[in-house]
Structure 1
Amino acid sequence: MTTVDILMPYYGDDELMRTAVRSVLAQDDPRWRLTVVDDGTVPGVPEWFAGLGDERVRYLRNERNLGVTGNFNKCLGLAEHELTVLMGSDDRMLPNYVGTVIAAHEAVPQAAIIQPGVRLIDGEGRPTRTLVDEAKRRIYAPKVRGRLVLRGEPLALSLVRGDWLYFPSLCWRTDSLRSVRFREDLRVIQDLALLLELVQRGESLLVDDTVCFEYRRHAESESSATAQAGSRFAEAENFFLETAESLREHGWTRAARAARLHLSSRLFALTVLPGALRGPDRAGVATLARHAFGRRAGTVPGMTAPRSTDGADYTDRLVRLEQPLWKRLLDVQAPYRRNVRRLFGTREVLDVGCGLGRNLAHLAPRGVGVDHNEHSVEVCRQRGLTAFTTEEFGETEYATPGRFGGLLAAHLIEHLPRADAVKVLAGYVDYLAPGARVVFICPQERGYATDSTHVEFTDFDGLADVARQLGLTVEERRSFPFPRFAGKFFPYNEFVLVASKP
């Protein structure tokens, strides 16, 4: 008997999650199993699942936060039955979903992916229509009556022209889905990357026009939509250029040309640009404009921009940026070194996101670094500094509650969505003693625009919000080394926020 594994990676609104779970419980067809993987700490959720008393529902809570990509990859490893759905924890299945996808699978069993009919709802669960979704329906999605099978270059071409699929509604043949993983170096466009990988392996997509799923499109304020727009489009730019090369090597020249052009992504950037122009984020405006009009964001001539801060390519880029002779002769780090030492004095300091150890060297011998990039940590160690990967740190003698008198997060927060930055830093607050000094440093506008791995522009108010969410008391805000206006054109001007642990 064909069974659908419904895997629900969950983090966030628990009431929307409960609504999503109830929609699964209400299926007309009983051939399903639900697994919810909780990446958060909302109280009462485990007890709610225990009270369901339904053996078809499995609830797991991660011991530590894995992040969006990590939690999705964990879900991939939990699939046990013939078909798999990676359902959004804020979406809803209509009662006919399971029956619809099983019937489609039985009709075309070779299809690796099934896209059933979807209707849009807003944050309140009401039917809605948006410009993005109308473009998907009218321009990019194929016209289907009944069922349609797509594969090969025509499928790849349609997806790179404009991704018209609704990922949380897709049903996958499990044996195909197990062969891929979500890319850790992508934050926004992981779903399209995974789909294109399967398409290039020869897998096919079955479209069934039976409406059986409700995809929730949350309304975003213009300010929140544009705040991360620059980073979103910088990632898209690098992804499409990389994809174009992969498709060209595959012999799919039409799809490669479409990926290189990525017209729909450029048009989307143009629609966001007017709102960004009315906001304070000039770095985001520059990135949007470069994406819309064809210049690559965040690159240095002669240097390939890394896609994220995870790999050896990012570490190599940081090393190369240190090499120019003029930087060493002029000792350009001198004012920053004095500032860091002034801020922390003789305190023992935990440097979170230490990178190559530039600030860690300023703190030596009383500094301990931690970073998620193992290659950067190795460079720190070669330089005689004390540094650990995030996985290693918890097993060291330094991971002692109340040990450190200071914490530094320099050029870390802008590499993460705000909520993720808070979660990362929250994992280290317990290692601080009462009264410990906490310093956050982020680049100002011109510096933010120079790196394609930057995710969210964060000014004084943003840093103060991070401090507040961590339970810290803000003590000082300072633009360094020059007044605030210099950040518009000087790439090394920084926001410096000083806080303390009560």
Structure 2
Amino acid sequence: MLKLVSVIIPCYNQAKFLREAIESVLYQEHPRFELIVVDDGSTDETSDVAASYDRVRLIRQSNRGLAGARNRGLAASCGEYVTFLDSDDRLLPGALEIGSRQLDLNQEWAFVYGRYRYIDVNGAPLPQGQQGSVSVEDCGDSYEEMLVRNFIGMHGTVMYRREVLERLYGFDETFMVCEDYELYLRICRQFPIGKHDNLVAEYRLHAESLSRDSSLMLKSAIRALHLQRQFIKGKEQYQKAYEAGIRGWRELYGERVVEEIRCRFRDYGYLGLVQSLGRLFVLLRYYPQGIIDHGCRKIRCTFMEKLI
């Protein structure tokens, strides 16, 4: 018998995209799935949209954040396999069938992930094309590679075994973002994972996405890595991967924070710097070299532009 797949959509004030997310699941041809929408304290029409579909089970709760909403949906679900779809993203046809078939064929995998593509705010595909990075076969050790970077990219491409999620107690609710990366690290440290090469989901790029908060992403990604330190002591290959990961996250999001500060100063002058104090403190703690190497130079150039 085909195993039941639970699809959980957490939603916080994303009613304008939710209908597309729901219908991308309802159009799946897999014969056994349940769809749960968790309204995480929304003040828009999220609950009304979800309640308009007979096949959707709606759960309302006060705001607990993305990790808390996912955990609530997991607790209410029944499927042996579980997929989490963000409310502004979409599954592509065949996603559930492909994921469940891969887990059926590879009983040792804790989860399987696939490829995705970017779409714009209106749902049109962007020219970046197909995404999906290093496969488990390519990187050899998924934990080592995950320490270096989050090679999965889009959470909606992942299908989990429920027993693994329950064994690890789900998502860490102290994370506002990067809760998926933190979970991947815990899973990859203890279980094998797998990848397929099918395009199964669409990732929407828009200004309201939490991943646009570079300061928060920088803090959270580095914190997720810091939690691994006790497990990599004395293991040289993992320590090197960890150090590479710290450098990578600092450079990726640290540079974005520097640019955000520069833009605020360009647009608002010293008021912009005052408004960016929180970002400056994040840089001082997590990416001080960025201030020395790039931040002062960029801000100084912007200052000279304003004088001219």
**Paired residue type of 1:161:** V
Looking at structure 2, the residues matched to 46 and 13 of structure 1 have their Cα atoms a distance apart, in angstroms, of 10
1:214 is matched with 202
**Paired residue type of 1:292:** Y
- Pairing 1:267–2:256 present: no
- Pairing 1:258–2:241 present: yes
Looking at structure 2, the residues matched to 282 and 45 of structure 1 have their Cα atoms a distance apart, in angstroms, of 34
1:247 is matched with 231
Which of 184, 187, 193 in structure 1 is aligned with 2:173?
184
Flag the structure with more relative contact order, 1 or 2, with Cα contacts below 8 A and sequence separation at least 6: 2
Rate the CA distance shift 1:220–1:33 in 2: closer, same or farther, 3 A: closer
Q: Is the 8 A contact 1:273 1:289 kept in 2?
A: no
1:121 is matched with 119
Q: Is the 8 A contact 2:12 2:46 kept in 1?
A: no
Q: Is the 8 A contact 1:5 1:85 kept in 2?
A: yes
Listed one character per residue, the Cα deviations across residues 440-490 of structure 1 (whole Å, up to 9, x for unaligned) are xxxxxxxxxxxxxxxxxxxxxxxxxxxxxxxxxxxxxxxxxxxxxxxxxxx
Rate the CA distance shift 1:117–1:42 in 2: closer, same or farther, 3 A: same
Looking at structure 1, the residues matched to 3 and 185 of structure 2 have their Cα atoms a distance apart, in angstroms, of 26
- Pairing 1:8–2:9 present: yes
Looking at structure 2, the residues matched to 213 and 231 of structure 1 have their Cα atoms a distance apart, in angstroms, of 25
**What is the DSSP-based 3-state SS (H/G/I as helix, E as strand, rest coil) of the residue aligned with 2:125?**
coil
Q: Is the 8 A contact 2:156 2:201 kept in 1?
A: no
**Paired residue type of 1:265:** W
1:284 is matched with 279
Shift of 1:99: 1.3
**Paired residue type of 2:89:** D
Q: 1:2-81 maps to which residues of 2 (within 5 A)?
A: 2-42=3-43, 45-54=46-55, 57-62=56-61, 64-81=62-79
2:214 is matched with 229
Looking at structure 2, the residues matched to 16 and 44 of structure 1 have their Cα atoms a distance apart, in angstroms, of 11
**What is the DSSP-based 3-state SS (H/G/I as helix, E as strand, rest coil) of the residue aligned with 2:76?**
coil
Looking at structure 1, the residues matched to 120 and 110 of structure 2 have their Cα atoms a distance apart, in angstroms, of 29
**Paired residue type of 1:39:** D
Shift of 1:240: 2.5
**Paired residue type of 1:76:** L
Q: Is the 8 A contact 2:109 2:194 kept in 1?
A: yes
Q: Which moved more, 1:265-274 or 1:4-13?
A: 265-274
**Which structure is larger by alpha-carbon Rg, 1 or 2?**
1
Looking at structure 2, the residues matched to 118 and 239 of structure 1 have their Cα atoms a distance apart, in angstroms, of 24
Shift of 1:77: 1.3
Q: Is the 8 A contact 2:112 2:159 kept in 1?
A: yes
Looking at structure 1, the residues matched to 158 and 90 of structure 2 have their Cα atoms a distance apart, in angstroms, of 13
Shift of 1:111: 0.7
Shift of 1:236: 3.4
- Pairing 1:197–2:186 present: yes
Q: Is the 8 A contact 1:84 1:171 kept in 2?
A: yes
Rate the CA distance shift 1:252–1:119 in 2: closer, same or farther, 3 A: farther
Q: Is the 8 A contact 1:277 1:285 kept in 2?
A: no
Structure 1 residue runs of 5 or longer lacking an equivalent are 296-502
Count of residues in correspondence between the two structures: 274
Shift of 1:158: 1.2
1:90 is matched with 88
Shift of 1:118: 1.1
**Paired residue type of 1:163:** N
1:163 is matched with 150
Q: Is the 8 A contact 1:247 1:253 kept in 2?
A: no
**What is the DSSP-based 3-state SS (H/G/I as helix, E as strand, rest coil) of the residue aligned with 2:167?**
coil
Q: Is the 8 A contact 2:67 2:172 kept in 1?
A: yes
**What is the DSSP-based 3-state SS (H/G/I as helix, E as strand, rest coil) of the residue aligned with 1:128?**
strand
Listed one character per residue, the Cα deviations across residues 270-323 of structure 1 (whole Å, up to 9, x for unaligned) are 24413322322144135326533559xxxxxxxxxxxxxxxxxxxxxxxxxxxx
Looking at structure 2, the residues matched to 294 and 259 of structure 1 have their Cα atoms a distance apart, in angstroms, of 18
Shift of 1:49: 4.1
Rate the CA distance shift 1:256–1:9 in 2: closer, same or farther, 3 A: same
**What is the DSSP-based 3-state SS (H/G/I as helix, E as strand, rest coil) of the residue aligned with 1:278?**
helix
Q: Is the 8 A contact 2:250 2:287 kept in 1?
A: yes
Q: Is the 8 A contact 2:13 2:44 kept in 1?
A: no
Aligned-pair RMSD on alpha carbons?
Answer: 2.9
**What is the DSSP-based 3-state SS (H/G/I as helix, E as strand, rest coil) of the residue aligned with 1:29?**
coil
Q: Is the 8 A contact 1:83 1:173 kept in 2?
A: yes
**Paired residue type of 2:197:** D
Looking at structure 2, the residues matched to 67 and 122 of structure 1 have their Cα atoms a distance apart, in angstroms, of 24
2:160 is matched with 172
Looking at structure 2, the residues matched to 39 and 150 of structure 1 have their Cα atoms a distance apart, in angstroms, of 38
Report the TM-score, using the length of structure 2 for normalisation. Answer: 0.78
**Paired residue type of 1:258:** A
**What is the DSSP-based 3-state SS (H/G/I as helix, E as strand, rest coil) of the residue aligned with 2:58?**
strand
Shift of 1:116: 1.6
Q: 1:378-393 maps to which residues of 2 (within 5 A)?
A: none
Shift of 1:230: 3.4
Q: Is the 8 A contact 2:3 2:81 kept in 1?
A: yes
Sequence identity (%)? 23
Looking at structure 2, the residues matched to 50 and 185 of structure 1 have their Cα atoms a distance apart, in angstroms, of 29
Shift of 1:94: 1.0
Rate the CA distance shift 1:6–1:234 in 2: closer, same or farther, 3 A: closer
Rate the CA distance shift 1:232–1:118 in 2: closer, same or farther, 3 A: closer
Looking at structure 1, the residues matched to 217 and 247 of structure 2 have their Cα atoms a distance apart, in angstroms, of 15
Higher helix share: 2
Structure 2 residue runs of 5 or longer lacking an equivalent are 265-271, 291-308
**Paired residue type of 1:66:** R
Shift of 1:98: 1.2
Q: 1:408-447 maps to which residues of 2 (within 5 A)?
A: none
